[in-house]
Amino acid sequence: MDKRTTHSDLANETVESLKEGTHYQRVIEDYDHLKIEQYQILQPYQHFQKGNYIEFFFKDYFSPMISQKLKEKIQFLIDQDDYPTILVVGLGNMYLTSDAIGPRSLRDIRVTHFLDDCVRLEKHYYDILAMIPGVMYQTGMETVDVIRAIVDQYHIDTVIVIDALCASDYQKLGHVIQINDVGIHPGSGIGNHRKAINEENLGCQVIAIGVPTVIYVSSLLKDTLGFIKDYFGDSLNPASRLKIGKRKYQGKLTQKQVQSLLGYIGLLNDEELQTLLFEVLDPIDCNYVMSDKQIDEHVEILSAIIAKSLNDLRYKS
């Protein structure tokens, strides 16, 4: 599928068309109310570079295990050979809720750079600084250039960036946290391509933390057509007709039934349908970027979870 039509910053959604073992390797961990998938990208693909991508999937984000496991995975990615100075960066527009996960997370970050060395050593704190660089239309500057100035001034060893992401499955909005050790292209999911924030451009290790908060209309329509097919397939089953209330439709239509219901569109696979919807909506500027009606709650809770996981980091003695 064309890069322009994918509209996803999540490794789980992007590798679906790739071959496991050749393009990537995957390890899955299952816990109560939490699933962790770790991808090692072996060959660069679209805006995904070679490196580690770790995704946390959860329906109920009140589990304390989320911040604990997130802390462990971030700790794993941090270079432990030395005592690094870490800069935590909250990317995004603090005045736009769906883009505010980065700035909101920094409200609760424990900054330790101003503490005496003896205090940090006693508590095993990392040397942590934090900043909110804003977005280009607010500052007129590329975000990576702003960060690089701080990296050079304070001799930063590791940059941790927190940003909002784009998903192609609406059920993942506010219910996934992704981290990686290769950095991030700010705005890539919604077509605002800015300079990459990565080791090549900053000269130091970069860890990215992201939460999907937006989705394209074309992705929603693709899922809606799938629900329509499942709905009619389910309604053909006599045992399903008495079901009431919210439920997930399980029925499947035959290829002939799908064609009769939706014509040629019904025979397209997900990738073909996504491409078609993009080609129809994008030229007329109707492929809107949308968010969940509960985005305020998602951002508040998930920013607190991310901040807690970072505040709980301790270097090895």
| pLDDT mean across residues, the chain | 87
If asked whether residues 116 and 201 sit together in one domain, one would say yes
Which has the minimum average pLDDT: 8-12, 94-98, 130-134? 8-12
Q: What is the mean pLDDT of residues 256-283?
A: 86
CA atoms within 13 A on the CB side of 288: 4
Residue 316 falls inside a structural domain: no
pLDDT of residue 263: 86
| Residue 235: Cβ within 10 Å count | 12
Going through the chain in order, the beta strands assigned E by DSSP cover: 24-31, 34-41, 51-57, 85-90, 127-131, 158-167, 176-180, 205-216, 289-291
The phi and psi torsions of 10 (rounded to 5 degrees) equal -95, 130
User: Sorting pLDDT into bands at 50, 70 and 90, what band is 251?
Assistant: confident
CATH number of the domain within which 38 lies: 3.40.50.1450
List, for residues 108-140, the tens digit of each pLDDT value. 999 999 999 899 989 999 999 999 998 888 888
Number of domain units in the chain: 2
What residues are paired with 87 via a beta bridge? 129, 159
If asked whether residues 256 and 202 sit together in one domain, one would say no
List, for residues 196-230, the tens digit of each pLDDT value. 899 999 999 999 999 999 999 998 998 888 888 88
Answer whether 79's CB lies under 8 Å from 158's CB. Answer: yes
> What is the C-alpha to C-alpha distance for residues 65 and 59, in angstroms, rounded to an integer?
13
Q: What is the mean pLDDT of residues 147-156?
A: 96
List, for residues 181-194, the tens digit of each pLDDT value. 999 987 654 555 66
Domain that holds residue 35: 3-215+292-311
Residue 317 falls inside a structural domain: no
Give the predicted TM-score (pTM) of the model. 0.89
If asked whether residues 176 and 251 sit together in one domain, one would say no
If asked whether residues 171 and 301 sit together in one domain, one would say yes
